[in-house]
Structure 1
Amino acid sequence: MQRRQFVKLCGAGLAAFWLPSLSFAAAATEQRFIFIIQRGAADGLNTVIPYADPDYQRLRGALAVQDINDTKLDSLFALHPSLVTAKALYQQQHALFVHAVASAYRERSHFDGQNVLESGGTRAYQLKDGWLNRLLGLLPPAQNEAIAFSPTIPLALRGNYQVDAYASAKLPQPSDDLLLRVSQLYQQDAQLHAAWESAMQVENMADKGMQGQNSQQPAALGNMVGDFLSRPDGPRIAVLETGGWDTHSAQNSRLSKQLSDLDTLLASLQTHLGNHWQQTLIIVATEFGRTAAANGTGGTDHGTGAAMLAFGGALPAITASNRSWPAGKVIADWPGLKDSQLYQGRDLHPTLALDKAITALVSAHYGLEPGKVARTLFPASS
């Protein structure tokens, strides 16, 4: 049996998460980094809302978010009212938002856009590995094995540095007696015994993190992720994949729920990372944005320019070393929402490059030379 298959088998008792999957990679550093993928093209215009742009209300109509008095960030932007924790983090300078941002991808296919987002290429399927896996090569030697809590490892983590999979399956929980017998069976086999002990350690960390809660809830997921990343022998890098952002219809209610879940996840991560929150950077990004104007079904369609969100107690230190990316700010070269200012007459025009934003934050977070980070993570655009 291949080692990865064995770890998958041992993970059979883990219930499905609220978020489709979770991936871990370990690196010998006290810095923590979490990359949250918003699959489906999240609507940046109703996440970080340009309320003072006179064309926002005209384009969005009934989709325009109105209840923003308590979530205004500055004279132009406000947060969606579901993002209560995010607003508090912004006020503490533990958040920054990058608007009118996009990868190099300019079409509107989810699959191709996500491929570019995760691989770091300038076009779909140009690169075979993920930019986050390549980042591991720039960090100190790994302390622990890389682990993916998903049936398949997300492209962002695929590459030369191994990431094992820990997949859930709808099988009954094994009894303690069975686990003891298997442990005894593998005791004399060095390879299988090591794999078994590793799988049991992961199971124990997962059980502790869930603390009897429903694993489909974002708070419980945050508990578990925080527990993993807080352990001295735990991983230091995590990737979370979130779905449900493709809001072609009924967007107001659906987006409100999505953002509320994201906000709950952030709150749980901050709580359960404890003191390690000060060493944590979280980046939230999507494959592309949505149309500036509402469609005829109460939603928006595939667009271009989007919003990138960054959180973490490490942001003040990142700001100190790279003042071009200040915490507690919205970073935007705002293009405007007049019809003549829209990309192809329909989308928020991207004025900032997603790869540049990621490079700036990640290089400052790890104290790495930005040029080297850019060439490694995004070689096609460097």
Structure 2
Amino acid sequence: MPLPFPTRRAFLKSGALAVVGTAAIPSFLTRSVLAQATTAQAQGKRLVVIFQRGAADGLNIVVPWREKAYYDVRPTIAIPQKQVLDLDGFFGFHPAMAPLKPLWNQKHLAIVHACGSPDPTRSHFDAQDFMESGTPGMKATNDGWLNRALATETPAHHGESPFRAVALGTQLPRTLQGRIPAVAVNNVKNFTVGAAEPTQDFSTMYDESVNAVLHGTGQETFEAVRMLKATNPASYVPAAGANYPNTAFGNSMKQIAQLLKANLGVETAFADIGGWDTHQNQGSVNGQLAGRLKEMSESLAAFWTDMGDQAESITLVTMSEFGRTVHQNGTGGTDHGHANVMFVMGGQVAGGKVYGKWPGMEKNQLYEERDLAITTDFRQVLGESVYKTLGARNLNAVFPDSGIQSNRFPGLLKA
């Protein structure tokens, strides 16, 4: 017997997004969803956004190893010159980022240093909110920059897939909130977010539902989830050589690859990785930061390998709410700072280059005499990414009152 369908509401039970039933997929939905995938692939572009929550220390991630002041102000946590993975004679990777060095060498990875939000806050909550809304200093913004970018695409998305925008996690991130449908999924393999009883009656789940996790369009939403179930996600095997770490972020990147390969019309995907707030015992070559970088680098490198030829159509951008202080503190860590580093990875990236004007690290060059100064607004990086990847041409709608213009992009993407 066919299952009942909701009208325009998502279904959620105790934080759980679940599939009910395994009936055959109607041909009309197959045509609709696959048409969206074909359209997205014809455009040749998908955007993946990674948020490093906690304020990553950009100075120890991409090390200015030719900057004498760097070693003067970080006597125990600086990365020794002999262990830096040199990039261009001035900057180098932390050694834990070795898995990404081949992508740099192949010019599929670009770096933007001294980049960040112009808002001076050092509050994690406010800074993350401002960067995810794309409106620094404005707390009243009720949607995310990536959702607005999707909304400004050329209006050719009729009957679009509810998997057009996907976040890996238990709730929809600020970045994807807005009027464009988006879905948050924590476990593609089991099709749950949290825990759901597989024998539970669908109508009960529906009655207790809210639309905060999955914003859908009734029958097509429910059938699209069943379509994803039909891809047999439990049997997914990454491509040869794609060795994801068995961690939360590693699993998120593996599931993003799985979703992108499933031809369900995914245009944007989002994941985050925490643990970057290194106030104490940050470490140098080894330690807290090294562990975070190892996990992130291995996961991104595995994702690149896993996507194979499809990696050419993907742009991946990383961001964090702010950087950390230039000086190390008294507990072997760093405190909340200002400018940071962003990565842009993909087949169309003009990589093998560190972008942005380097401000220097002498005291008179620092922001408020303590932090690396910002010379590139993070919205320039995101603006170029959505303009050239998603075709979002109305930049003022994506980043209101920012002054971001296409003729002033850093030049990170070839087309």
TM-score, normalized by the shorter chain, greater than 0.5: yes
1:80-100 Cα offsets, whole Å, 9 max, x none, are: 111122211111010000000
Return the TM-score normalized by structure 2.
0.76
After superposition, the Cα gap between the structure-2 partners of 1:209 and 1:285, relative to the gap in structure 1 and judged at 3 Å, is: farther
Q: Where does residue 276 of structure 1 map in the other structure? A: 310
SS at match of 2:294: helix
- Measure, in 2, the Cα distance between the counterparts of 1:93 and 1:214: 24
- Measure, in 2, the Cα distance between the counterparts of 1:243 and 1:11: 26
After superposition, the Cα gap between the structure-2 partners of 1:195 and 1:313, relative to the gap in structure 1 and judged at 3 Å, is: closer
Q: Where does residue 311 of structure 1 map in the other structure? A: 345
CA apart distance, 1:67? 5.8
1:144 to 154, 161, 172: 161
- Measure, in 2, the Cα distance between the counterparts of 1:68 and 1:34: 33
Q: Where does residue 47 of structure 1 map in the other structure? A: 61
- Write the mapping of 1:44-83 to structure 2, written as runs, cut at 5 A: 44-66=58-80, 69=83, 71-83=85-97
Q: Where does residue 262 of structure 2 map in the other structure? A: 231
Q: Where does residue 255 of structure 1 map in the other structure? A: 289
SS at match of 1:200: helix
After superposition, the Cα gap between the structure-2 partners of 1:153 and 1:220, relative to the gap in structure 1 and judged at 3 Å, is: closer
CA apart distance, 1:310? 0.8
1:378 equivalent in alignment to 2:389: no
CA apart distance, 1:192? 7.2
1:199 to 219, 225, 231: 225
SS at match of 1:244: coil
- Measure, in 2, the Cα distance between the counterparts of 1:214 and 1:87: 18
Q: Which amino acid aligns with 2:101?
A: K
- Measure, in 1, the Cα distance between the counterparts of 2:293 and 2:381: 22
Q: Which amino acid aligns with 2:261?
A: S
Q: Where does residue 319 of structure 1 map in the other structure? A: none
Q: Where does residue 32 of structure 2 map in the other structure? A: none
In the alignment, structure 1 segments of 5+ residues that lack a partner are 14-25, 316-325
- Measure, in 2, the Cα distance between the counterparts of 1:352 and 1:214: 32
Q: Where does residue 30 of structure 2 map in the other structure? A: none
1:2-23 Cα offsets, whole Å, 9 max, x none, are: 732348534399xxxxxxxxxx
SS at match of 2:256: helix
1:346 equivalent in alignment to 2:353: no
1:327 to 327, 346, 351: 351
- Measure, in 2, the Cα distance between the counterparts of 1:353 and 1:103: 6
In the alignment, structure 2 segments of 5+ residues that lack a partner are 1-5, 21-35, 187-191, 207-216, 239-243, 404-415
Q: Which amino acid aligns with 1:9?
A: A
- Measure, in 2, the Cα distance between the counterparts of 1:66 and 1:12: 51
After superposition, the Cα gap between the structure-2 partners of 1:354 and 1:204, relative to the gap in structure 1 and judged at 3 Å, is: same
Q: Where does residue 9 of structure 2 map in the other structure? A: 3
CA apart distance, 1:339? 1.1
Q: Which amino acid aligns with 1:296?
A: G
- Measure, in 1, the Cα distance between the counterparts of 2:173 and 2:390: 22
What do you get for the CA RMSD once the two structures are aligned? 3.0
- Measure, in 2, the Cα distance between the counterparts of 1:60 and 1:278: 39
CA contact (8 A) 1:33 1:281 kept: yes
- Measure, in 2, the Cα distance between the counterparts of 1:92 and 1:54: 29
CA apart distance, 1:166? 3.4
After superposition, the Cα gap between the structure-2 partners of 1:345 and 1:352, relative to the gap in structure 1 and judged at 3 Å, is: same
Q: Where does residue 33 of structure 2 map in the other structure? A: none
- Measure, in 2, the Cα distance between the counterparts of 1:121 and 1:368: 17
Q: Where does residue 364 of structure 1 map in the other structure? A: 388
Return the TM-score normalized by structure 1.
0.82
Q: Which amino acid aligns with 2:10?
A: R
SS at match of 2:319: strand
Taking only the aligned residue pairs, the percentage that are identical comes to 31
CA apart distance, 1:332? 2.5
CA apart distance, 1:132? 0.1
After superposition, the Cα gap between the structure-2 partners of 1:193 and 1:132, relative to the gap in structure 1 and judged at 3 Å, is: closer
More helix by share: 1
Give the count of matched residue pairs. Answer: 347
